[in-house]
Structure 1
Amino acid sequence: MKISLLQQMYKDVLAGVPLARESHHYSSLINLCVEQPPEGDESCHQKPLPSPAGGSESHQDTDMSDVVAAADDLSNSFANMSSSFCPREVMLLQLTLIKMMLAKAQSQEIELHTRQQYCEIFVLLLKEAKIDSKLIHLLGCDDRLLSHMASQSLASLVYFQLKEEDALNARWLRSSLGALLGFPGSAGVPGCLRTLTAILKETLKDAPGAAAGVLKKLLAPLDAVLEGFYNAILLHHFDSHHYTSPYSEAANTLISFIDLLEALLASRMELELPLRCQRILFLKVSYVLNIINSSIPYVIKKKFILLLKKCVLYKSREDAKSGSLFLQTPSLCEDMLALSNAVLQVVNLSWLNQIPLSGKSSCFGSSEAAPGHDSQGASDQTVLRALSLVVLKALEFKIHNSATEAEIKGDFESSMCQLLMFWRSHGKPSPQSHPAVHPCEWLSLVFMEQDDDMWEAAKALLLIYLKFDRLQCDAADKPSQKEEESRKFLVHAGGYNPHCIFLFFLEKIAFDSTVLLDFLISSETCFLEYLVRYLKLLGKEWQQFVDVCTYFDSRHGTFRSVRPPHREERSCLSGESLPNAVCETEARSAMCSAPCHNCPVFTAQQGDNGAAAWNRSDSLTAADSAALLGALQSLVNYDSSEDSEVESDGKECLVNTKQSPSNNEGEVRRRETGCSCRDDDQNPRTSQVSPPKPKGCPASSCWTCMASSDKIAPLRVMLYKSTKCLEELQEAISRLQRRNLFPYNPSALLKLLSHVEKMSKSMNPQ
């Protein structure tokens, strides 16, 4: 029976062993029993297919005249087949065998004789059975699985001919051109798009040099047609009833086209001079922006948004290898600027606020939320982050290519204002956050659940800040003090102060240096590049960093004056009196602490209405202060960490990490990440903020860490915590480097961290 022969053939091909019988036998065995379209007509019109039920009915409706004479014993195979297998299952197995044999024929792990035998089989299939026409015909069938398998097999066949014969399959090319040019009236467009996408993915598996030649032969004949199809499908009327369901034919076509655009984007790096079809998404991105704002199903909007995110994160092969930040290829730089200008133009027209973010679409494996999870009113955080990153990267590209501050200042402020409004509408403030979230805090709140996106966004804002700083330094006229204070205020109000962003992030990770170490070792984020740039900036703007730390202390109610507390003030606080104590602390901080003249956004000057309003909106109420102090109490208390292991010198202790590595190298990294333990009386950890102890604790031990000596005036809790976190990171990196466990040379990074440590110790010498 045919099914048993196919099963045996499948086992032989899977094992890569030579086939026992002659090539004609196997070409007849995997030849598809599909009625061929008339010669010259490969337009994928729907044709009758084998009945899903087995028996003679399928045989009577099938034309077997194209089966070769050497396989007469197989001509009536469907009629003789066991009733347990239907023609559809046989055809699926044949399609699987075609794809598998094409892959084995190109594998160097298979013996040359066996590969040659596979090639002979496909020569017979192409010349005598016209297998390519049959696969093209199957693309348009109603059976989704058959259509998908046919597109995969056809893609493998076309790619195989490109590699082995250095020629593009004429029948497939003619069919594809006809389908694309005839849109929207032609049928079979989704199958055509899926096949082309699969061919591109097969090509991208090759080495760079080989892939470039194949791509040119594949895309050059389709270049102009694909651009025309782009215009036709994206200018189509998407508000019609054809797009009400994501399962409609029209929606299926659009989804297949999005997958093709993604493959074209990935293939772009293989060519030094990309084709027009590889650039069209950048040059005409306004079409995509309009579709996102139309009434198409949400799943299609989400795919387009995620595609735009890939565009703004795209780097050419040269940039990826060298690690350079900005794009050096002229065409890519031009395309990124075109995309950035289009995105910023619609953002300034309140485009973001017109996009509804569905909460159900983000559920894994289903469109419904898990039991017990309330998603009513929730926003799709994946789309929120993607849209935010698109806007931030667009701003970065635009500002990087601007010559003067006047060219970009207005557009930047408008775009950031729209983005902050977007975050407030859809973001999820943490329970520990102040209800009136500081603009610089939104970045960590929005991106905290996605590490790679968070550091891309933070890096973009850092580069924007550095660019504005360079433009100001290059200006002929030195800014006045009032202009400088106004600039500092706008930096905070715009949500891109790098020191605020970094400190808010450290708060979110409880000042855990092991988290930073994980980011540094990971190859999935750009944290290394971000941290190096930020530490360089920190060396230049140390005083501004100190000022921001001072504001954090006053904001959280931990900033104290020079006067040490009285004994009754150091007594333990009960749960009922804690909120009032925090309010008193906040009020005393506002009255007693000296104004921070270097940071006008935090201390409003008279006559500066904007700054005054900012200061009022950021002040704390009694309940908010209590909530914020609760956030401080939730931070990791390193004073309570027990020494898990003492090394041979007896001077170092190992601390537990939050994450458990899944391999031996990670385990070694976890055990080596540690801090220096000193037994002398000058251990700086004794001045850390610790949560209030329960009732009955010794009075002398409570809150003494806040102001324990007249020699410290005043205590800077945030400054200490942040610099201590960086010091622990430096020690961990040094320890890993000494034992050759760090994945790259961190000498430059250690030098920057050492400089920060020196600046910190110079303020409070021990």
Structure 2
Amino acid sequence: MKDVFEVLEQLYKKVLLGATLEGDNQDYVLCLSPASADQDGATDPSSEDSDNPGPQGKRQPRPVDLPPTPAAPVGWRSSARETNLFQLTVIQVMVTRTLSVETEFHAKEKYREIIKILLQASDFDSKLTWMFQSSDKLLSHMAAKGLALLLYFRLKEKITLSNAWIAFCQKNLSGYSENDKVVYCLYTLTVVIKEIFKDTCSQKTEILKRFLTPFDAVLEVFYNSLFSQYFETVQDTSKIVNSLIYFLELLELLIASRIHLDLHFTCQRIFFLKPSCVLDVITWPVHAFVKRKCIIFIKKCLLWKAGEDLCRGSVAASRPPDQHLGVDMLALADAVLQAVDLGLLKTLCVPGKPSCFGGGEVPPGCEGLPGPDHVILRAVSLLIIKSLEVKFQNCASAKEMKVDLQRFMSELLAFLKPHLEPSVQPQHPCEWLSRVFIEQDDDMLEAAKASLGIYLKLTRGYEAAESVTQELWNRHTHENGYNPHCVFLFFLKNIGFDSTVLLDFLISSETCFLEYFVRYLKLLIKDWDTFFTICKDFDVTDSNDSTNICGFISSLGQDRSSHQTGLSLLAALGGGRSARSCVSWAAGASSEPQSQVVMSPEARATPQAGRRPSSQASQSLVDYDTSDDSEVESTDPCLANSKQTSLHHEAKQGIQDTVGTSRGEKELSLEPQSRPVPDETNTPFPVAGDVAPNNVVYEVGLSHRTVKCFEELQGAISRLQKKNLFPYNPTALLKLLKQIEAICTKSMNAL
């Protein structure tokens, strides 16, 4: 007969193409039945001698239901490992083809029959379980992945899960003591849940419910057992670290299933019930990458974004919050703040060397720029600011909130100060946010939104108390680094007051900018006088800092082409991210005065603003409230993100045609981008400097530049709305911008 390897090769080619198999099912089953490997990669003792002991000293039963593998030439026995790997590969491809909607019906039915016969063998799962405990890492990985796919196949076909495998997992997870078998259990559980998330069927909830039911209680036991280990007394720390890494990934998937699926298991809440267990890992003497993983995991849970990387593009929009969400989020926020109160920031080491994949050190000669781990800095900062927001939403005492805010913000600012380079250390307390998050848009906007939420909550508390003057209140917000106007102005500086960047954020589903922007605009309408005062203070400071660079500005005015190229690069990189290497209006490494700007014809051109909503405006996907209550929003960020994603690519091409390339396209081209020439009779905002001649520098304050940016944004949105290219109905957003227009006009007339 033919060599088994040759038969497998022919079978593999047919299955890979999705072709219908013509042979007998039993022959294929005999060919695919793997001989298990012992710990050294040898063939399974059960296939040779029933008296040979297994890895735990127990005698292995001889296969009963599955016929022995057919005889093969002597040369094949020397490549038993390769044959086992090939068998596992063919099984995985066959399962994948069976589950794929693209596979032809008759071919799929043939594959399904073969797999079902294979699963009927009483020792098939035992063989795979044996193989994924092999010391051969490749064989172990392939066996574990194959077993996971077959488990998922059982769930899809409503075949009862293997009792032997369930018992194996329950035993090892419930009696954890540096058990190396735990990793295999956690890995298979994780892979199966990932496959469930990837599926496009409507029965995800039912499938996952059947899968998690046998493990709900045992996962809670394992959680308590794993985090109760005394790391210093563990002999082999690699085992507990591996278990921790795999378990954190599994926990994230369980929490993601709580977000996206209608499930209610205890294992989905175990982290929120005892969050201090994971927080304690940060103080363990482990590698920096382990601490980083824990911190990022906690951050995702606090932001309710668990699983966004593991399940991207495969999950539906978030469901309405469950009844325990408020309690769980408050418990997590309290645990984070309590850890900070106990000195977490004082003991947290932020390594100065960048870590490479796996936690090792970068080879000599390949080091990048020295500096701290900014991933940890951002995550810790966001943890604290978000925890404060969550706590304050459940706190009624303005005095208590003030004390907590001062204590924790002072600790955070003190923690950040030594890790920021002297050249970029913030001169203003509120600048910390833009400095720390300058390379991560989504985290920056989450932090800005949380900071704004804290401000709004405290404002209501002080307004009710009526015991604090406006001057003292403003000083308090500045000293603790959470004044919303300062935060927004630093954000605008970092993007060079580029309205196209704001437009990109508004149509993107990757950040919470829409929700943050709407809430801030409502505040700005009520608090315009304070905003105007802060802008004037900024102008004075920037004017004092600009005495020695007038010649540099003049040279910029003489070369508009290179200036525009620099601004295009600035917009592409998100503003101040490359402040040292390109021209930037942002404060910091570049010292161009904030009160001056070169007014070129392109810069002076303002987009035509649409005055009437389109008669064919797109259906509203985001219906945010436009009432005066800035705290209570009807914007659902999860709903907005999911629906914006579906229209984002459709709108992108039209947006490029209307307002020039998006930020993503600018990264590919540094050519100067010109803007459409407006109808100057239809300019909605009066802005100083619009009539400036070529190459002349005029004084333009921050308030005017902000309003100018809003003007361009309003015009771009209106044009896109008229062409039905905006991914949701922006009528309410335009209404807010028009209100600011009216306030600005009134303010200018008063002057």
Q: TM-score, normalised by structure 2?
A: 0.77
1:339 aligns with 2:300: no
- Select which of 415, 424, 427 maps to 2:408: 415
Q: Which residue of 1 aligns with 2:647?
A: none
Tell whether 2:196 aligns with 1:203. yes
Does residue 275 of structure 2 align to residue 285 of structure 1? Answer: yes
RMSD of aligned Cα (Å): 4.1
- Between the aligned partners of 1:738 and 1:412, the Cα distance in structure 2 is 45
Displacement of 1:112: 3.8
- Counterpart of 2:503? 517
Quote how far apart the aligned CAs of 1:269 are: 2.7
Q: CA deviation at 1:558?
A: 6.4
Q: What is the CA-CA distance between 1:758 and the residue it aligns to?
A: 1.9
Q: Which residue of 2 aligns with 1:486?
A: 472
- Give a deviation string over 1:154-186, Cα, whole Å, max 9, x none: 111112212213533211100001111221154
In structure 2, the residue corresponding to 1:183 is in which secondary structure?
Answer: coil
Which one-letter code corresponds to 2:524 in the other structure?
L
Cα distance in structure 2, aligned partners of 1:626 and 1:156: 53
Q: Please say which of residues 2-11 and 101-110 is displaced more in the overlay.
A: 101-110
Relative to 1, partners in 2 of residues 1:629 and 1:254: Cα closer, same or farther, differing over 3 Å? Answer: closer
Distance 1:339 1:130 in 2: 44
Q: Does 1:76 align with 2:72?
A: yes
**Following TM superposition, by how much is the alpha carbon of 1:470 offset from its aligned partner in structure 2, in angstroms?**
2.1
Name the residue aligned to 1:631.
592
Displacement, 1:104?
2.2
Alignment of 1:671 with 2:632, yes or no, is no
Kindly state the Cα deviation for residue 3 of structure 1 after the two structures are TM-superposed: 1.7
For the pair 1:7 / 2:2, whether they are aligned, the reply is no
- SS in structure 2 of the partner of residue 448 of structure 1: coil
Deviation at 1:639, TM superposition (A): 2.0
Higher-Rg member (1/2): 1
Q: Which amino acid aligns with 1:718?
A: L
Structure 1: state its 5+ residue gaps: 36-45, 561-568, 579-624, 650-660, 694-700, 707-715
Counterpart position of 2:381: 388
Q: 1:133-152 to 2 correspondence within 5 Å?
A: 133-152=126-145
1:372–1:763: structure 2 CA closer, same or farther, 3 Å change rule?
farther
Tell me the equivalent position of 1:132: 125
- Whole-Å Cα distance in 2 between the matches of residues 81 and 662 of structure 1? 58
Counterpart of 2:705 (choices 721, 726, 729) is 721
Q: Deviations over 1:257-296 (max 9, x none)?
A: 1221122121223554521111111111101111111101
What corresponds to 2:362 in structure 1? Answer: 368
Gaps of 5+ in 2: 55-59, 308-314, 556-585, 611-649, 662-673
TM-score by length of 1: 0.76
Is 1:541 aligned to residue 537 of structure 2? no
Q: Which amino acid aligns with 2:460?
A: R
Which position in structure 2 is the counterpart of 1:604?
Answer: none
SS for the counterpart of 1:196 is helix
**CA pair 535-364 structure 1, distance change in 2 beyond 3 A:** farther
1:738 pairs with 2:719: no
Residues 177-198 of structure 1: per-residue CA shift (max 9 Å, x gap): 1111221154411111101111
**Other structure's SS at 2:591 match:** helix
TM-fit CA distance, 1:364: 7.4
Contact 2:334–2:391 (8 Å) recurs in 1: yes
Distance in structure 2 (CA, Å) of the matches to 1:577 and 1:201 = 58
Instruction: Report the residue type matching 2:106 in the other structure.
Output: H
1:107 maps to 100
Flag the 1:577–1:361 CA change in 2: closer, same or farther, 3 A.
closer
Query: C-alpha separation between the residues in 1 aligned to 2:224 and 2:606?
Result: 66
2:483 aligned residue: 497
Shift of the 500–260 alpha-carbon distance from structure 1 to 2, 3 Å rule, reads same
- Structure 1 counterpart of 2:294: 304
Does the Cα contact within 8 Å between 2:431 and 2:490 map onto a contact in 1?
yes
Cα distance in 1 for partners of 2:364, 2:507 equals 34
What is the 5 A alignment of 1:585-664? 630-632=591-593, 637-639=598-600, 641=602, 664=653
For residues 319-363 of structure 1, give each alpha carbon's deviation from its aligned partner in whole angstroms, at most 9, with x where no partner exists: x98999xx7422121111110000011112331231112244455
Does structure 2 retain, via aligned residues, the 8 Å contact 1:51–1:87? yes
Change (3 A) 1:686 1:444: same
Matched, 1:457 2:447: yes
CA distance in 1, matches of 2:474, 2:594: 31
Number of aligned residues: 646
In structure 2, C-alpha distance between the alignment counterparts of 1:559 and 1:139, rounded to whole Å: 65
In the TM superposition, what is the alpha-carbon distance from 1:423 to its structure 2 partner?
Answer: 2.0
Give the counterpart letter for 1:31 in structure 2: S
Which residue, 228, 233, 244 being the options, matches 1:235? 228
For residues 97 and 690 of structure 1, do their structure 2 counterparts lie closer, same or farther at Cα, with a shift above 3 Å needed?
farther
1:631-688 deviations in whole A, cap 9, x for unaligned? 33898745263899999x9xxxxxxxxxxx99744532543894654779x9966638
Q: Which residue of 1 aligns with 2:562?
A: none
> Structure 1 CA distance, aligned partners of 2:595 and 2:14?
62
Q: Give the structure 1 partner of residue 561 of structure 2.
A: none
Instruction: List per-residue Cα deviations over 1:534-575 (Å, max 9, x = no partner).
Output: 000000000000010011011112699xxxxxxxx9x99667
Q: Could you tell me how far apart the structure 2 residues matched to 1:301 and 1:687 are?
A: 51
Task: Tell me by how many angstroms 1:761 deviates.
Answer: 2.2
Matching residue of 2:571: none
Q: Is the 8 A contact 1:305 1:387 kept in 2?
A: yes
The 5-angstrom pairing of residues 187-266 of structure 1 reads 187-206=180-199, 210-240=203-233, 242=235, 248-266=238-256
Partner of 2:41: 49
Q: 1:239 offset after TM fit, Å?
A: 2.5
- Residue 205 of structure 1: how far off its partner (Å): 2.6
**Contact 1:440–1:497 (Cα < 8 Å) also in 2:** yes
Structure 1 counterpart of 2:745: 761
Alpha-carbon distance in structure 1 between the residues aligned to 2:322 and 2:402: 27
1:631 is paired with a residue whose SS is coil
* Structure 1 residue 499, shift from structure 2 partner: 0.3
Cα 1:635–1:148 change in 2 (3 A) is: farther
Moved more, 735-744 or 173-182: 735-744
- 1:306 counterpart SS class: helix
Counterpart Cα distance in 2 of 1:576 and 1:749: 36
Q: Quick one: distance in 2 between partners of 1:96 and 1:311? A: 36
Amino acid at match of 1:368: V
Secondary structure of 2:172's match?
helix
Q: What is the identity, as a one-letter code, of the residue corresponding to 2:71?
A: S
- What secondary structure, in the 3-state scheme, does the structure 1 residue paired with 2:232 have? coil
Deviation at 1:525, TM superposition (A): 0.7
Matched, 1:553 2:539: yes
Change (3 A) 1:364 1:134: closer
2:173 equivalent to 1:177: no
Partner of 1:27: 29
- State the identity %: 40
